[in-house]
Amino acid sequence: MIYTAFRTAYLQRRLPCVAGSGVLSAAKAAGTRFMTTETDVAPNFAFAFDIDGVLVRGAKPLAEGKKALKCLQEHKIPWVLLTNGGGKSEVARVTDLSEKLEIDISTRQFIQSHTPFRRLVDNYSKVLVVGGDADTCRYVAEEYGFKNCAMSLDIIAAQRSIWPFHRFSTEDLQQARALSEDAFDAILVFNDSRDWGCDTQVIVDLLTSEGGKLGTKNSNLEQALPIYFSNNDLLWANEYHLPRFGQGAFRTCVEKLFKDYTGRDLQSTIIGKPYLFTYEYAHGVLNDWRQEKFGYEGKLQRVYMIGDNPASDIVGGNGYGWYSILVRTGVFKDGDQLHAAAKPKVIVDNALEAVMHAIQNEIKLK
């Protein structure tokens, strides 16, 4: 069964990312046949890649990230992108990322922090949408199916004194929509707030209102409606050499102010990595994609979760039973303390090394 010279040449030609990495000789030695040609068995493993700090740093794509995806694409090994980022529609993000990473990415292999909010559409009709640039997230929410989406922009346009320190330009305020009279049913934080002061005031106003009615206040300062945060990251990695505060930091401020103002703990639902809800959602997407794109049946035995943030990617991957690989191209730095739940299976330099490690692991397991 062992590899013929043809096979080696075929793999070296088809797998520039593997050639010279020792994986080929290991594969040959082990007689592994998961490198897919028409006749080979479907790989029973797949990959979930984090984005910020793994494939890109802010607007800058990472070379090893590109190579890693290309290598898997050539092997016909399934992968999805699982990010706590967001703020744009899935179509807009995959178009942007496909260009940056020079590879075709489908929305059907892409999960961003707020994608699972789709499942809340039937629960709420009037929602406050928070975060993102201008009112982009309103359009994302409407695309998901939410009927009545208002933003702080609309609320400030209707009554400036609600937050006199707002940063909206005249142009922004012209984009504002008239507010309907009915009460809000829920608050959905889609992405990082661009004006923490304004959004926090509006959020706490609604949370302490009479049944979600803006401009009212309930006498016991009880929480009047549910609030969802789509991303728990305190820190994330962009172009700057030090990690930046993320949506989790904003939530911490909202919680503290709600507590100081009402004396009560804020009851909120948080999705995104590391939470089970998002990993279950991502697993479903990966299974569907694997079948749709490659026609692979059979149960997935292993999913390699490649991330830069121990608190979200690794805790989440470990908690969901995936094989967690931590890279050094983002938030995590050597010497950072990792508590047990955030300890990855392995730490590597970058996404390409992570893929190499996974392939070697598959060879060992065959």
C-alpha 318/C-alpha 345 separation (Å) is: 9
Residue with Cβ nearer ligand G3P (18 or 235): 235
CB of 330 to ligand G3P, least distance (A): 7
Instruction: Give the per-residue SS3 of 258-283.
Output: HHHHHCCCCCEEECCCCCHHHHHHHH
If binding means CB under 6 A, how many residues of this protein chain bind ligand G3P? 13
Sole window of 26-34, 50-58, 175-183, 339-347 interacting with ligand G3P (rule: CB under 6 A): 50-58
Residue 158 burial class via C-beta count within 10 angstroms: exposed 0-12, middle 13-18, buried 19 and up? middle
> Could you say which of 135, 308, 353, 362 contacts Mg ion (CB under 5 A)?
308
Q: Work out whether the CA dihedral 328, 330, 334, 336 comes out positive or negative.
A: negative
- Count how many residues are written for the chain: 366
CB atoms under 10 Å from CB of 79, counted, come to 23
**Partners of 189 in the β-ladder:** 130, 229
Helix, coil or strand: residue 49 = strand
From the list Mg ion, ligand G3P, none, partner contacted by residue 85 (C-beta under 5 to 8 A by kind): ligand G3P
CB of 277 to ligand G3P, least distance (A): 15
Residue with Cβ nearer ligand G3P (185 or 233): 233
Answer yes or no whether residue 50 interacts with ligand G3P by CB under 6 A: yes
C-alpha 205/C-alpha 208 separation (Å) is: 5
Classify residue 298 as left (phi > 0), alpha (psi -120 to 50) or beta.
Answer: left
Residue with Cβ nearer ligand G3P (43 or 116): 116
**Alpha helix segments (H runs only) across 43-106:** 63-75, 90-101
**Alpha helix segments (H runs only) across 263-350:** 276-294, 315-319
Amino acid identity, position 23: V
From the list ligand G3P, Mg ion, none, partner contacted by residue 83 (C-beta under 5 to 8 A by kind): ligand G3P
CA 280 to chain centre: 13
Residue with Cβ nearer Mg ion (76 or 328): 328
From the list ligand G3P, Mg ion, none, partner contacted by residue 233 (C-beta under 5 to 8 A by kind): ligand G3P
Residue with Cβ nearer Mg ion (50 or 135): 50
- Do the beta carbons of residue 176 and residue 153 sit within 8 Å? yes
CB of 309 to ligand G3P, least distance (A): 6
Residue with Cβ nearer Mg ion (24 or 305): 305
Answer yes or no whether residue 246 interacts with Mg ion by CB under 5 A: no
Amino acid identity, position 28: K
Answer yes or no whether residue 231 interacts with ligand G3P by CB under 6 A: yes
Answer yes or no whether residue 190 interacts with ligand G3P by CB under 6 A: no
Q: Are strands 244-245 and 235-236 parallel, antiparallel or unpaired?
A: antiparallel
> Could you say which of 43, 53, 212, 310 contacts Mg ion (CB under 5 A)?
53
Sole window of 48-56, 117-125, 164-172, 211-219 interacting with ligand G3P (rule: CB under 6 A): 48-56
CB of 278 to ligand G3P, least distance (A): 10
Sole window of 45-53, 123-131, 194-202, 296-304 interacting with ligand G3P (rule: CB under 6 A): 45-53
> Could you say which of 246, 274, 317, 344 contacts ligand G3P (CB under 6 A)?
246
Classify residue 221 as left (phi > 0), alpha (psi -120 to 50) or beta.
Answer: left
> Could you say which of 15, 52, 105, 206 contacts ligand G3P (CB under 6 A)?
52
C-alpha 13/C-alpha 7 separation (Å) is: 10
Answer yes or no whether residue 275 interacts with ligand G3P by CB under 6 A: no
Residue 84 burial class via C-beta count within 10 angstroms: exposed 0-12, middle 13-18, buried 19 and up? buried
Tokens of 164: 């006199």
Binders in 73-102 for ligand G3P, by CB under 6 A = 83-85
Sole window of 180-188, 256-264, 300-308, 352-360 interacting with Mg ion (rule: CB under 5 A): 300-308
- In the complex, the residues that contact Mg ion under the rule CB under 5 A are 50, 52-53, 308-309
By the criterion CB under 6 A, which residues form the site for ligand G3P?
50-53, 83-85, 192, 231, 233, 236, 246, 309
